[in-house]
A and B are shown apart, each in its own frame.
Chain A
Amino acid sequence: VRLCSPPNNTPSFTSSSIKMSAISASEKVDGFTRKSMRKAQKQKKSQGSSQFRTQSSLVELSPLPQLKDAPSTEQQDLFTQKLQQCCMLFDFMDSVTDLKSKEIKRATLNELVDYVSTNRGVLVESAYPEITNMVSTNIFRTLPPSENPDFDPEEDEPTLEAAWPHIQLVYEFFLRFLENPDFQPSIAKRYIDQRFVLQLLELFDSEDPRERDFLKTILHRIYGKFLGLRAFIRKQINNIFLRFIYETDHFNGVAELLEILGSIINGFALPLKAEHKQFLMKVLIPMHTAKGLALFHAQLAYCVVQFLEKDPTLTEPVIRGLLKFWPKTCSQKEVMFLGEIEEILDVIEPTQFKKIEEPLFKQISKCVANPHFQVAERALYFWNNEYILSLIEENIDKILPIMFGSLYRISKEHWNPTIVALVYNVLKTLMEMNSTLFDELTSSYKADRQRERYWLYGNSGPFLVGIRRIPAYHVVHHCK
C-alpha cells in the first residue's frame, strides 16, 4: 500500500480542470454510468503524434522509379533519395489531405522494407546515416497527452497512433535493417548511440500496443548487437522504472521492458555483479507496489525467478522484500503475490527454504484465512504442488504450528464451501505428515478457545450469539 501518490510532473486535465472535475471523478464511483458511457464511445480512438509545428507547407511527393528497375550503379543513389523522401511527415488526423503523397510514401516504405530484407550488399557505409535519420525523423516524437488522463490500461481501450500506416512500415524497415546479415554494428554505433537509445526508450510510453511490440523487438536486437550500449540501456531502464515507481506511477511500456530484461538477466554472468543485485532489490521488488501490477506481473515474476535461479542466496532477501510489500487491501494483487511465491518455491533450495519458512508461512497462514475466497483458494493450492509438499513435510515441526490455528478455524468458519473442502484436505495432509504434533495442537487449540470463551462470556455462555444488530438510535432510545 502506497502512502500517497508521488508528485506527478505530467500535467493533465485532472489537475488543471475546472469546477466540474469533481463531477466526472465521482461519476466514476457509479459503475453503471461508467460502463454505459464506455459502450457508447466504443469506436476506436486514435490520435496524432504531438509534432510541434511540423513543416508548414508540404510539397507534394512525386513517385520515384522502382529500385528493382534501376541499373545497379544508380540503385544506391535512388535508395538514398527514397530514404530522404520518407522523411516527409503527414498529418493523419486529417484524413483527406495529402492523400496522394501519403500513398506514395507508403508504397516507398514498403519497397524499402522489401529492399533491405531481400537484397545483399545494399548496406554500404553511406547508407547508415541516411537510414537512421529517416527512422529518427519518423518515430522520435513527443508522445501526445493522453486523451483520457485517468486511462486505466486494464479496462480502457488504448488510443492508437493515427500515423500507424507509415510508422509501422518505418519500424518494420528498421528491424529488417538491424537483422540484415550485412549489418555492421561497428559502423552503426556512430548513429545508433546513447541519445538514439534514450529517445527509443521514451517511446515505450506509447499507448499503442502495436508500437510497443515493435519497440520491444528492436531494443532487444540493439541490446544484442551493440555491446557498448548494454550498460547504458540497463541503466536507463532502471531510471524509467524508478521514475515509474516513485514519481509518476504511470508508464505504458513496463511489461515490454521487463520482458526484455527477462532475457537479459538470463544471460548475466556469475557471480552476479553488485549492480544487478541492487537492481533486483531496489527496483524489481519495490515495483510490486505499483497500482497497475496486473499489467506486468507475469513478466516481473519471471525476472525475479530468473535472478533466483542464477543466485539462490538471493532467495531470503527477495521473499522478505515481497513480505514487506504484501498487499494489505487489494485481493487481486494478493493472488498475484501468491502466484509469484509459488513460482519462487518451485525453484527454491531446501536450505534457503529453512531461512524464510517462518515469516513466509505466517503470511500464508493469513492468506489461507482470508475471507476473500480467491486469496484463500490460491494459498491452499500450494498443497497441490508436489515440491512444496515435500518442503513442508521436511519442516513440518516448524510449519504446522504456524498454519494450524488458521486452518482449524476456517475449517469451521469460512463462508465458502469450496474453501472449507480444500482446508479439510490440507488438514488431512498435514495430519498424515505428523499426527502426534497434529493431535497436540488440536487439544491445545481447543483449550485456548475454551479459555477465550470464558473470558468473553463468563460462565453464562455465549448469550450474544443470535441477537440481531440494532440500529444505533434505538439503542440510545432503549437506554433512556
Chain B
Amino acid sequence: MKAAVGEGPSAALLGGRNPVVQHSSAIRKLQLSKMAGADGDDSLYPIAVLIDELRNEDVQLRLNSIKKLSTIALALGVERTRTELLPFLTDTIYDEDEVLLALAEQLGNFTMLVGGPEYVHCLLPPLESLATVEETVVRDKAVESLRKISQEHSPVDLEVHFEPLVKRLASGDWFTSRTSACGLFSVCYPRVSSTVKAEIRQHFRTLCSDDTPMVRRAAASKLGEFAKVLELDYVKSDIISLFTALASDEQDSVRLLAVEACVSIATLLPQEDLETLVMPTLRQAAEDKSWRVRYMVADKFSELQKAVGPEITKNDLVPAFQNLLKDCEAEVRAAAANKVKEFCENLPEDSREQIIMTHILPCVKELVSDTNQHVKSALASVIMGLSTILGKDNTVEHLLPLFLAQLKDECPEVRLNIISNLDCVNEVIGIRQLSQSLLPAIVELAEDAKWRVRLAIIEYMPLLAGQLGVEFFDEKLNTLCMAWLIDHVYAIREAATCNLMKLVEKFGAEWAQNTIVPKVLGMANDPNYLHRMTTLFCINALSEACGQEITTKQMLPVVLKMSNDQVANVRFNVAKSLQKIGPVLDSNALQTEVKPVLEKLATDTDMDVKYFAQEAISVLALA
C-alpha cells in the first residue's frame, strides 16, 4: 500500500495537502471518512487514506486507489460495500476515462466482495452507467464485466435484475447504451423463460435495424454469437432475415461485419439449408462493390470454407476464391494470397489436386509477378506450403519455377519469406534443388543496405545451415557469417555472435575449433577496438558450446592477453568475459591464470574496469 500509512487521520492529511478539494467535497468526504474510521479502529486508517484518494484531484492517485478497490471493499465488509461504497462509486461515473476503465474492470471481480451470488445484482447500477459512457474502451470493459457477473446471477435474479437492465440499455436514447446492449443478449438468453426470450429476440431485431450505424455495427458483430444461443428454428426464422438485411446494409462497415457472422451461422445450420439460407448472401458479399467487404470475405475464407462444407466449396468457393485472387484491389488480393495454402489444404481430398492444378495454380502464377509487393510477399509467406500438398513431381514441375522467381524478386521481403519457409520444401524435394538459386539470394540479402534485412537473414542461418549441410555451409556461407562479425551496425554484430553459437550447437565443437575459433581469435589483434570487443562477445557466446578444453587452451590465453589493451572498454569487457567463462574453466586455471589478471584489473585507473573486475572476483568467489 503506497499511501502514507501512520501519518494520522486521512482527512487531516488531505486537508493539509489540498484545501480546495477538501472544500468542494467536504460533505462527501466526511461521510466517507466516517465510513472507514468511525469505530475508532486504527487498522482502518490506511483504508481511509485510500478512500480519500478516490476523491483526490490527482488522477494518478484516484487510479491507484480504484485499483485497490477490492482491498477497500474487503476492509469495509460486504454490507457496507453494498450500502455505502457502491452508491458512492455509482456517483463517480463522471470521472476520467482511465479511472472509469479501472473501475469497470474491478467491478467484474466483485461478486464475493458484495456477499456472493445472492447479492451480485448490487453491482449492476454502476456497471449500467459505465456501459453508457462515450469512450469505447470503458464501455467495452463494462460490458465484459457485465457478461462475467451475469453468470453469477441465479435464473430468478437474471430475470428480475439483469434482463431489465439489458432492456433499459437496448432502448436507451443515446447510441452508446444501445451498442452496449448488443453484447449482453447472448449471455442472458439461454437462462430465461420463453416469454422473456421472445422479448430479447424482439430487442435484438430492433437494434439490427437501428438508424444509427454504430448500433447496427455492434448488432452485426454480435449476430453470430447470438445465433449460437438461439434455438435452431429461430435461427432459421429470425437470424437469417437479420443476417440478410445487415449483409445488404447501405454502409459497408456494417456489411463487412455480416461476413463474420456468416461463419457462425453457416456452422449452425444443417447442410441442406445452407444453399437457400446462406449462400445467396455469401455470393453477394464476395462480389460486393466495396473492397472492404471483399477483403473481409478473403480474410475469413478458411473459416467460411470449413463452415459450408466440401460440396459448396467445390461449386461456389473455388470460383469465388479465384476472383478474390484476381481482385482489382491489392488489399483484397493480398488477403486472399495469404489464404492460398489453408484453402488448398482444406479442399476435399478426392478432387484436391485437380482443383489446385486447374483452378488455383494459374492464379497463383499470376500473383508471383503482381505489381504490388505486399501481395507478392503475402504469397511468398505461404506458397512453399503447397509443396507438401502437391507432392514431389508437381512441386518440381510447377512450384519450383515460382519459388525461383520469388527468390529473385526485387523486394527483399518476398525473398525473405521464401527463405524463411524453406523447411516445407526441404521435406518434399530436398533443398539441394534450390541451392543454386538460393545462394545468390542469400548473399544479396546478407549485403542488403537495410540492416534490418541483414538481421532477418542472419536469423535463418542456423536453419539453412542445418538443411544445406556442413560442406555447403563451409564452402559458401561461412565467409558471410564471419563478415557479419565486423558489420558496422552493433545489432548485426550481436546477432552474428549469437548465430555462431547456434552453428556450433549444430555442427559441434570440433567444427568450431577448425573453422570459426581461429578466425574469431584472430580478430583480437584487429586495430579497431570494436572488432576486438567482438572477439570477447564471441567467446562469451561460444565457451559453453565449445567446452572446457577449447575454452581453456585457445580462448582463455587470448582473453588474458587482452587485459593489457589500451582501450578501457576492452579491458572491462575482459573482466566481464572472465566472469562469463569462469564456470567453464577448471579451478586450477581460475586460481593461477584468471585471478591474477582480475586482481590487476581491480586496480585499474578506470572506474568501470575496476568495478567489473571486482564484480567478477566476487561472482567467481576468487576474493
Contact = CB atoms under 8 A, between A and B. Distances in A.
Nearest to A10: B292
A137 B294 CA distance: 21
Nearest to A145: B331
Given A242-B214, A477-B611, A282 B413 contact: no
Nearest to B450: A23
A330 interface: no
B252 A473 contact: no
Interface of B is mostly: helix
B295 interface: yes
Interface stretch (A1-9, A111-119, A441-449, A460-468): A1-9
A9 B256 contact: yes
Contact of B291 (A7, A145, A247, A473): A145
Interface in B212-230: 212-214, 217
Contacts of B330: 145
Determine the interface band of chain A, counting residues with CB < 8 A from chain B: 35 or more
B134 A246 contact: yes
B75 to A, nearest CB: 29
A187 interface: no
Interface stretch (B95-103, B267-275, B436-444): B95-103
B136 A19 contact: no
Contacts of B213: 239, 243
B134 A286 contact: yes
A324 B329 contact: no
B507 interface: no
Interface in B601-623: 607-608, 610-611, 614
B252 A19 contact: no
B122 interface: no
A474 B607 contact: yes
Contacts of A142: 252, 289-292
Contacts of A50: 290-291, 328-329
A19 B381 CA distance: 9
Contacts of B417: 18-19
Interface string A260-293: 0000000000000000001000100010000000
A1 to B, nearest CB: 8
B339 to A, nearest CB: 11
B135 A3 contact: yes
A247 B134 contact: no
A52 B291 contact: yes
Interface in A7-57: 7, 9-13, 16-20, 23, 26-27, 50-53
A195 interface: yes
Contacts of B378: 16, 18
B175 interface: yes
B257 interface: yes
B250 A198 contact: yes
B137 A4 contact: yes
A282 B214 contact: no
B212 A239 contact: yes
Interface string A164-198: 00000000000000000000000000000001001
Contacts of A9: 217, 253, 256-257, 292
A153 interface: no
Given A3-B101, A6-B137, A198-B250, A19 B299 contact: no
Interface residues of B, number: 56
A145 B329 contact: yes
A474 B611 contact: yes
A417 interface: no
Given A3-B98, A477-B611, A19 B420 contact: yes
B446 interface: no
B204 to A, nearest CB: 21
Given A53-B328, A243-B214, A16 B413 contact: no
A63 interface: no
A144 interface: yes
Contacts of A6: 136-137
B66 to A, nearest CB: 14
Interface string A451-480: 000000000000000000000011001001
B452 interface: yes
Nearest to A236: B213
Given A9-B253, A52-B291, A18 B381 contact: yes
A11 B175 CA distance: 24
Interface of B: 96-98, 101, 134-138, 174-175, 211-214, 217, 250, 252-253, 256-257, 287-292, 294-296, 299, 328-331, 334-335, 338, 374, 377-378, 381, 412-413, 416-417, 420, 450, 452-453, 456, 607-608, 610-611, 614
15 contacts: A6-B137, A9-B253, A11-B296, A13-B374, A16-B331, A52-B287, A144-B329, A242-B214, A243-B214, A245-B134, A246-B136, A286-B134, A324-B96, A473-B608, A480-B614
Interface of A: 3-4, 6-7, 9-13, 16-20, 23, 26-27, 50-53, 142, 144-145, 195, 198, 235, 239, 242-243, 245-247, 278, 282, 286, 324, 473-474, 477, 480
Given A11-B296, A16-B299, A145-B329, 16 more contacts: A3-B98, A9-B217, A11-B335, A16-B331, A16-B334, A17-B374, A18-B413, A19-B456, A20-B416, A20-B452, A50-B329, A52-B291, A52-B294, A144-B291, A239-B214, A282-B134
